[in-house]
Amino acid sequence: MSGEGLTIRDLRVTFDGFTAVDGVNLDIQPGDLRFLIGPNGAGKTTLVDAVTGLVKAGGSVRFGDEELLGRPVHRIARLGIGRTFQTATVFEQLTVLQNLDIAAGAGRGPMTMLRRRKGIPEPVANALQTTGLTDLRDRAAGVLAHGQKQWLEIGMLLVQDVKLLLLDEPVAGMSHEEREATGELLRRISAERTVVVIEHDMDFMRSFARSVSVLHAGKVLSEGTVAEVQADPRVQEVYLGRASEPEPELAPESEPQPEPSAPAAATAAEEA
């Protein structure tokens, strides 16, 4: 696997005096399938926001040889960095096919843009296949089920041909089977690309993570393989110390967990 890795040095993000990300260092190798976990407010989403140019940040974020900080969002995207959002964000008024075709087309020339789309471009057809949305391609994205929208978003990243995928809670709200299928998909994708996943679902993380970083209060608390991180006493303390947020890891085989990300997703929807 060749390609660029993501190197984050001393990343800082503040909102009106509140420090959301406080000197984070991260190295993500090409081909990694990295999970970012941590309690709510740990700065996970803000970290992704900073990398993709949505919020201003201090420090340094390099993708290969390119410094990302200070570039506008669409330029960062063109370097091959794609992301999804906590609430699946697709173009609801357009069809699945149109969504994917737009995602595939950032490099198109004016002449192509002014013409009608003829047929289905090959990358789009492949993405339809991979995400299992082929039969729904002429359906408006707005009427898709929640999980299908998440898959469409991942499909859009695939046709965008990004080298680095940043996924913000991709399995939130999915059924068990859908989670398994998504995990398998991520595994396949990470054979050729680098994937970073923000996730609350510990089972999901355990099954699919190649490496894990734990964020807490804007800092990296622990890093390593799943086993290493689980064994880290600091990690256990962070999760134990927060009784309000029960952690499936420490109560194995408990009753089905309430969806951890639901409030966060609702807030994001409200904000958007």
Partner 1 sequence: MTVILNQSFTGISIGAVLLLIALGLTLTFGQMGVINMAHGEFIMAGAYTTYVLQKSISSAGVSLLVALPVAFLVAGAMGALLEWLLIRRLYTRPLDTLLVTWGVSLMLQQLARDVFGAPNVQTHAPDLLTGNISLGGGITLANNRLFILGLALLCVLGLTLILRLTPLGRRVRAVVQNRDLAEVSGIATERVDRTTFFIGSGLAGVAGVALTLVGPIGPTMGTNYIVDAFLVVVVGGIGQLKGSVITAFVLGVLQSVLEYSTTVSVAKVAVLVAIVAFLQWRPQGLYTLRTRSLA
Partner 2 sequence: MTTSTTSPAKKVSVAQPPVSPLERFRVPAAFLAGAVLLLGIAPLVLSDFRLNLLAKYLCYAIVAVGVSLAWGRGGLLVLGQGVFFGLGGYAMAMHLKLADAADTGQALPDFMQLYGTSDALPWWWKPFANPAFALAMTVVLPMAVAALLGFLVFRRRVKGAYFAILSQALAAALSIWLIGQQATTGGTNGLTDIQGFFGYSLNDPVNQRMVYLIIVVVLLLLMAAARQLFVSRYGELLVAVRDCEERVRFLGYNPANVKLIAYVVAAGMAGLAGALFVPAVGIISPALIGIVPSIGFVIGAAVGGRASLVGAVLGAIAVAWAQSTLSDAFPAAWTYAQGLLFIVAVGFLPGGLASLPTVVRNRRTTTARSGEAA
Residues that bind partner 1 (CB under 8 A): 15-16, 46, 49, 54-55, 85, 266-268, 270-272
Considering the complex, what minimum distance in angstroms separates the CB of residue 153 from partner 2? 9
Q: How many CB atoms lie within 10 A of CB 201?
A: 23
Residue 187 touches partner 2, criterion: CB under 8 A: no
Nearer to partner 2, 71 or 219 (CB): 71
Considering the complex, what minimum distance in angstroms separates the CB of residue 65 from partner 2? 19
Considering the complex, what minimum distance in angstroms separates the CB of residue 231 from partner 2? 33
In angstroms, rounded to a whole number, what is the distance separating the alpha carbons of residues 48 and 204?
A: 20
- Residue 36 near residue 197, CB atoms below 8 Å: yes
In angstroms, rounded to a whole number, what is the distance separating the alpha carbons of residues 3 and 191?
A: 12
Considering the complex, what minimum distance in angstroms separates the CB of residue 68 from partner 2? 13
Q: How many residues bind partner 2 (CB under 8 A)?
A: 52
End-to-end CA distance of the chain: 37
Contacts of 18 (CB under 8 A, 6+ apart): none
Residue 109 touches partner 2, criterion: CB under 8 A: no
The partner in contact with residue 230, picked from partner 2, partner 1, none with C-beta cut-offs of 5 to 8 angstroms by kind, is: none
Nearer to partner 2, 238 or 265 (CB): 265
CA distances from 160 to 95, 107, 191, 214 (A): 17, 10, 17, 29
Query: Tokens representing 149?
Result: 């929208």
| Phi-psi category of residue 13: left, alpha or beta, with phi > 0 → left and psi -120 to 50 → alpha | beta
| Phi-psi category of residue 68: left, alpha or beta, with phi > 0 → left and psi -120 to 50 → alpha | alpha
Helix (H), strand (E) at residue 236: helix 233-240
Considering the complex, what minimum distance in angstroms separates the CB of residue 272 from partner 1? 4
Contacts of 233 (CB under 8 A, 6+ apart): none
Residue 148 touches partner 2, criterion: CB under 8 A: yes
The partner in contact with residue 55, picked from partner 2, partner 1, none with C-beta cut-offs of 5 to 8 angstroms by kind, is: partner 1
The partner in contact with residue 109, picked from partner 1, partner 2, none with C-beta cut-offs of 5 to 8 angstroms by kind, is: none
Considering the complex, what minimum distance in angstroms separates the CB of residue 3 from partner 1? 29
Residue 155 touches partner 2, criterion: CB under 8 A: no
* Residue ranges binding partner 2 (CB under 8 A): 52, 54, 72-74, 77-78, 82-83, 85, 89-95, 98-99, 101-103, 105-108, 112-117, 132, 135-136, 138-140, 142-145, 147-148, 151, 156, 160, 177-178, 181-182, 272
